[in-house]
Structure formats: C-alpha cells, structure tokens
Amino acid sequence: MKINRYQFDSIASKTKQTITPIRRGEEDGVYFEYLALLEICLYRFHLKYGLNGRQAKEILQVVLFDIKSITDHQEYDYTKWMEQCYRSCADTIEELFIPEKNPDLKKALKEGVMENDDFFEFARKNVIRIYESVTQWTKDFGPEGYFNFIRNYIGTEIQSSKKYLVEDHFLKI
C-alpha cells in the first residue's frame, strides 16, 4: 500500500492513540534504560549523518511503519518520503526489538511471542516517547535542539552495551 505524505507524517499520532503512552515523570522508572538506548542510537546517527530533529522524527516514523507492517501483515510503501540514510538507521533501531533483524534477539526470545499482540507495545511506547521529545526540543530550540539536549544529557561517553527493547517476560530466562 502506497503511503502519502499525510499518512507518513501522522503515523506517530495514530500509533499514540492505540497505546498507553509513557507519561512525563515515568521516564526514570522501568523505561529509563530503553529510552536512553534509543536516544543514544539517534545521537550516533546525528554524529554520523548530521541529522536534524525533523530527520530524526522521520526515522522514527519509518520504524513505526515497519512495526505496523508486521502487526497488520501488510506492506507499506513510504520510500518516497525517506532520505538515503533512513533505512540503515531504522534497521539499527529495529535490531533492538525485531527478531528477524537480530539473530541474537531471536535466540533470546521465548517461542511464539511474536504472535502476542502486546509484543510490540513496549517498543511503540518508547519510540513514541522519543518522538515526542524530539518534537518538543526541535520546536522550542530549533533543528539542533534535541541533539544539543542529548549531548548534554549523555555527555561524551556513548554506551556500547546492547540491550533489547523487549519486556523481560518475552525473553527466555
């Protein structure tokens, strides 16, 4: 199915309507590590490709459409709205929660979890929260606002540990 610009731009708001979002103040709880993981990914892309806030949001929109493709069992064609680096950036983020993109995650998951409707809920919540943060910082402080915030937040040391963006109860123990 071909996606027009309106559909591409509205995927985050439509996704937010289907989940219970992470509320302000909840970021320091169970979500902290996962949100930091996504922020570090985006900051690395900013350093590598010179991304601005709008481009970061569009990468997150690609990720949301990829989740939607899996859950709806339908292909969405949004390539017209993607810049060259978006696919590789989205794939890197998706390795955190899509087993087909990460063999180590596939081995770590319990059998049959992909059939569980809630499997992608956690990833959606985290992606939407980061999307909202990028939107706010970009609106308030310009195209580099989000990345200026992140640079101060994570400092110069970028973590290299790899964690999955999957709730523990989906993993083998």
Q: What is the pLDDT of residue 113?
A: 84
Tens of pLDDT along 107-152? 999 888 878 878 999 999 999 999 999 999 999 999 999 999 998 8
Residue 111 CA to residue 108 CA, distance in Å, equals 9
Q: How many CA atoms lie within 13 A of 157 on its CB side?
A: 2
Considering only CA atoms, which of 87, 86, 105 is closest in space to residue 97? 105
Reported as a pLDDT band with limits 50, 70 and 90, residue 168 is: confident
Average confidence score pLDDT of the chain: 89
Reported as a pLDDT band with limits 50, 70 and 90, residue 162 is: low
Which amino acid does the sequence have at 94?
Answer: E
Check whether 53 has a pLDDT greater than 70: yes
Over the Cα atoms of the chain, what is R_g? 16
Reported as a pLDDT band with limits 50, 70 and 90, residue 173 is: low
Mean pLDDT for 37-45 is 93
Q: What is the pLDDT of residue 2?
A: 95
Mean pLDDT for 69-76 is 94
Q: Which pair of structure tokens corresponds to residue 140?
A: 């308030």
Virtual torsion, Cα 56, 37, 163, 58, nearest 10 deg: -10
- The DSSP string of 106-158 is HHHBPTTGGGSTTTTHHHHHHHHHHHHHHHHHHHHH-TTHHHHHHHHHH-SPP
Residue 110 CA to residue 114 CA, distance in Å, equals 9
At what angle are helices 121-141 and 32-49 packed, to 10 degrees? 50
Q: What is the pLDDT of residue 25?
A: 83
**String of b and e for 42-67 (b: at least 16 CB within 10 Å)?**
bbebbeebebbbebbbbbbbbbbbbb
Q: What is the pLDDT of residue 157?
A: 46
